[in-house]
Structure 1
Amino acid sequence: MLYEQEQVIQAFKIYSTLAINGKAFKEDLRLYLADDSIRGLVDQFAKEVDCTLLLVGDLIYMIPLSINSPYHISNETIKEKHLPSRAVNADIYMMYVAIIILFGEFYDSYQTTEATRDFIKMEDWLNSVNDKILSLKGYDEKELMELERKYEYNWLAIVDKWDALDDIKENVQQTARTISRMSFMNIVKRFLEKQELIEGIGNNEIQLTEKAKAIIQRYYMELEYNREILEFIYSLEEKEGDVIASHIQD
């Protein structure tokens, strides 16, 4: 299809706005909505960098679809901007798992494409993460290593990281330097808030944003790789006797 020069220029201006800011108000991008040719060009530009555009409420978001996208947040960026200064890869693995579990709490363990709850308390999210990690500890080290090869997730590091978080400090006043499970959950919460995926509603409760719902419903549960990870995490059940992995010390 041939495009006029002005259409290409207008489309690139719209794409540039989204590429720089990650979002824009529909009102400011009226041409994207009104002109099929310009919209097609902008969508094509986004596709070239492994992104898609989502229309949510009054906003248009540009969302990276793969780790190959230059707009995907790298592990190094997460460590530098969103985690404590001494964070390692295990912190990132733990963050990913906490996020998967959080979304699953809203979508009935990923059994439905519509949210089944409006909000969740931070302590309930923490307890759900704790339950899943306890279930992981029911596998021995050899089994966990096999699961790592299958899912490309470092389950041993995740279990060790969670154990290293000092839950004895949960009942004392939290500070930015308190190394505890709840303080870690608050770090993940702040990351998700900055990405506009959740918002606090008071009483230590959080809810998903419309942006998060759109991403989860349209993409998150559809990707084959994600699907296997989600099914595995939500298949975890505590083994009888709470057998602890051999590499973990009481």
Structure 2
Amino acid sequence: MLYEQEKVIQAFKIYSTLAIEGKGYKDDLRLYIADDSIRGLVNQFAQEVDCTLLVVGDIIYMIPLATYSPFHISNQTLKDKHLPSRAVNADIYMMYIAIIILFGEFYDSYQTTEATRDFIRMEDWLNSVNDKVLGLKGRGEEELLKLEEKYEYNWVAIVEKWDALDDIKEDVRQTARTISRMSFMNVVRTFLEEQGLVKGIGIDEIQLTEKAKAIIQRYYMELEHNRGILEFIYSLEERKGEADASHIQD
């Protein structure tokens, strides 16, 4: 399809705004909504860099869909800007798992496409992560090593990282330097807040943003690779329940 030069320029201006800012307001980018050909061009530009555009309320977001997209946050950027100093890959894996579990808490372990709760307490999120890691631990190192090949996740490193976090300090006032599980969860919370995916509604409570809900509903649960990981993580809860009940005799 051939496009008028003026429309190509207008579309590229809209794309440039989204590429630089990561989002734009519909009032400022009204041609994207009003003109089908311009919208199609902007969508094509986004696809070329493995991104998709998502309209949520009055905002248009540009969302990277692949790890090789230039707009995807790299592991090195996560370490340098969002994690404590001397962070290693295990911290990144632990962060990903904490986020997956957080989203699952809002979507009934990913069994529903609509959020089933309005908010979650930080302590409840931490406890859910702890339960899942205990479930991982129950699999044994040999089985976890086999599962690493299937899911491309370093499950052993996740267990070791969680164990290394000092839960003795959980009842002590948390600071940025406290190497504890709750302080790690607060690091993840800060990252999600900076990405516009959660917002605090109290000192110890957070809720998902409309942006997060749209991403989870339209993309997060649909990606085949994600789906397998989600099902595996939430199967750990059942496995842990079976293990806890195994000592009960009829």
Range of TM-score over shorter length: over 0.9
The equivalent of 1:161 in structure 2 is: 161
Within the alignment, does 1:240 sit opposite 2:235 as a pair?
A: no
Q: Does 1:50 align with 2:50?
A: yes
CA offsets per residue over residues 162-189 of structure 1, 9 Å max, x none? Answer: 0000000011111110000000000000
Q: SS of the residue aligned with 2:84?
A: coil
Tell me the SS of whatever aligns to 2:73. Answer: coil
More helix by share: 2
**Percent identity of equivalent pairs:** 80
**2:213 alignment counterpart:** 213
SS class of match (1:231): helix
Q: Which of structure 1's runs of 4+ aligned residues deviate more than 6 A? A: none
Equivalent-residue separation in structure 2 for 1:23 and 1:241 (angstroms): 47
| 1:13 aligns to 2:13 (yes or no) | yes
Aligned ranges 1:64-75 → 2 under 5 Å:
64-75=64-75
Q: How far off is 1:240 after superposition?
A: 2.2
Structure 2: distance between partners of 1:91 and 1:46:
30
Deviation at 1:154, TM superposition (A): 0.3
2:4 match: 4
Q: Deviations over 1:125-171 (max 9, x none)?
A: 00000000011111121101001111110000000000000000011
Q: Is the 8 A contact 1:134 1:242 kept in 2?
A: no
Q: Quote the residue 1:196 is aligned against.
A: 196
Aligned residue in 1 for 2:122: 122
State how far apart, in whole Å, the 2-side matches of 1:47 and 1:68 are.
Answer: 13
Question: RMSD across aligned C-alpha pairs, in angstroms?
Answer: 1.2
Amino acid corresponding to residue 29 of structure 1 in structure 2: L
Matches within 5 A, 1:28-43: 28-43=28-43
Q: Residues 80 and 203 from structure 1, CA distance in 2 versus in 1: closer, same or farther, beyond 3 angstroms?
A: closer
Instruction: Please state whether the residue corresponding to 2:183 is helix, strand or coil.
Output: helix
Structure 2 CA distance for aligned equivalents of residues 242 and 61 of structure 1: 46
Pairwise CA distance, 1:242? 9.9
Q: Distance in 2 between matches of 1:6 and 1:116?
A: 46
Unaligned runs of 5+ in 1: 244-250
Unaligned runs of 5+ in 2: none
* Residues 138 and 242 in structure 1, CA contact (< 8 A), matched pair in contact too: no
Secondary structure of 1:68's match? coil
1:63 is paired with a residue whose SS is strand
**Matching residue of 2:98:** 98
The alignment partner of 2:63 has SS state of strand
1:59 aligns with 2:59: yes
Distance 2:203 2:8 in 1: 49
SS in structure 2 of the partner of residue 173 of structure 1:
coil
Q: Report 1 or 2 for greater relative contact order, CA contacts < 8 Å, sequence distance ≥ 6.
A: 1
Cα distance in 1 for residues equivalent to 2:110 and 2:91: 24
Q: What's the secondary structure of 2:199's corresponding residue?
A: strand
- d(CA) in 2 for partners of 1:242 and 1:48? 52
What does the per-residue CA deviation read over 1:3-47, in whole Å, with 9 as the maximum and x for residues that have no partner? 000000000000000000000111000111111110000000000
The 3 A distance-change label for structure 1 pair 59 and 175 is same
SS where residue 44 of structure 1 aligns? helix
Report the secondary structure of 1:202's partner residue.
coil
The amino acid that maps onto 1:240 is A
In 2, the alpha carbon distance for the partners of 1:235 and 1:165 equals 24
SS state at 2:94 partner: helix
Write the deviation string for residues 175-210 of structure 1: whole angstroms up to 9, x where unpaired. 110000000000000000000000000141100000
**Is residue 117 of structure 2 the alignment partner of residue 113 of structure 1?**
no
Aligned residues: 243
Shift of 1:241: 5.8
